Structure 1
């Protein structure tokens, strides 16, 4: 890390503001899902799924508390990283003139990643709870695949956009 990098404040864009709303809503929904369904949940719930979406691991309903805790931790951690773009990793061609462009793109990648992860955790929590209440041991793998594809797209598009910065 180069401590001589310019420190530039990057304003949130409409996209990142909207993503923050969705991500925060995802975390809130996840917490509410667990809290509102806690008394109805069986003592054993699916905790792991194979590539086909079939449950292949079960545990106490208390394991459901792990998902919101991890999601909140990641959301806070990535939020801190997002606010310090001068500490991110950049190519050697970073200069005082192009730093705002690099920083803005890096902040967008971190922001979207943070919020997609929050929504993905909410999605998984919803399906685990729904399955536990309905006696189903299935996770909709297509929805999960969409979140993973979105994560890769955000990173790839961001890296391509950064590669075009002069």
Structure 2
């Protein structure tokens, strides 16, 4: 049983699409305008430790689109194949499905945001000839995925107690 998208999920999808379009724009613009080697990898201290062609920026939207595409495809998993806490009543199944769909909409949004942040930091470091970036934005996005997952699991158990 597939439910229709909630307003939260529709808005998260719109924001995800906006971030993906922005990511493609930043990556294409960077690959055209940036010259010389650009940082393509940063160590645990945020210092650039690998450099490549500006065209390597084009890899980011491709990888991001693949990940987000898989997360969107998971949305079409039949509810009957899902495992969630509590009894499988029609009401509980609908609420658990909505909880699942909202979690994956959030994760898709955060993944697109993370990749845009990475492309932005690489472009910024290249434009300003910096050899170091701040790692906190990447850690923030990763932490938000974890927090979203924990909130969704807690919500799933609360829904099962109904």
Per the normalisation by structure 2, the TM-score is 0.88
How far apart are the structure 2 equivalents of 1:131 and 1:23?
25
1:121 to 105, 115, 118: 115
1:145 to 128, 139, 145: 139
Q: 1:101 to 1:36 in 2, by over 3 A?
A: same
Q: Where has structure 1 moved over 4 Å in runs of 4 or more? A: none
| Contact 1:71–1:117 (CA under 8 A) maintained in structure 2 | yes
How far apart are the structure 2 equivalents of 1:65 and 1:53?
21
* Count, aligned residues: 159
Partner residue, 1:135:
129
Distance apart, 1:94 and its partner CA: 4.4
How far apart are the structure 2 equivalents of 1:85 and 1:134?
49
Greater shift, 116-125 or 87-96, is seen at 87-96
Greater shift, 68-77 or 41-50, is seen at 41-50
| Contact 1:42–1:133 (CA under 8 A) maintained in structure 2 | no
The answer as to 2:53 corresponding to 1:60 is yes
Q: 1:87 to 1:31 in 2, by over 3 A?
A: farther
| CA RMSD in angstroms, aligned pairs only | 1.8
The answer as to 2:91 corresponding to 1:91 is no
The residue correspondences of 1:13-162 to structure 2 (distance < 5 A) are: 13-86=6-79, 89-91=82-84, 93-97=86-90, 98-162=92-156
User: Which 5+ residue runs of structure 2 have no aligned equivalent?
Assistant: none
How far apart are the structure 2 equivalents of 1:66 and 1:144?
18
| Contact 1:67–1:121 (CA under 8 A) maintained in structure 2 | yes
Distance apart, 1:88 and its partner CA: 5.6
Residue 159 of structure 2 aligns to a residue whose secondary structure is coil
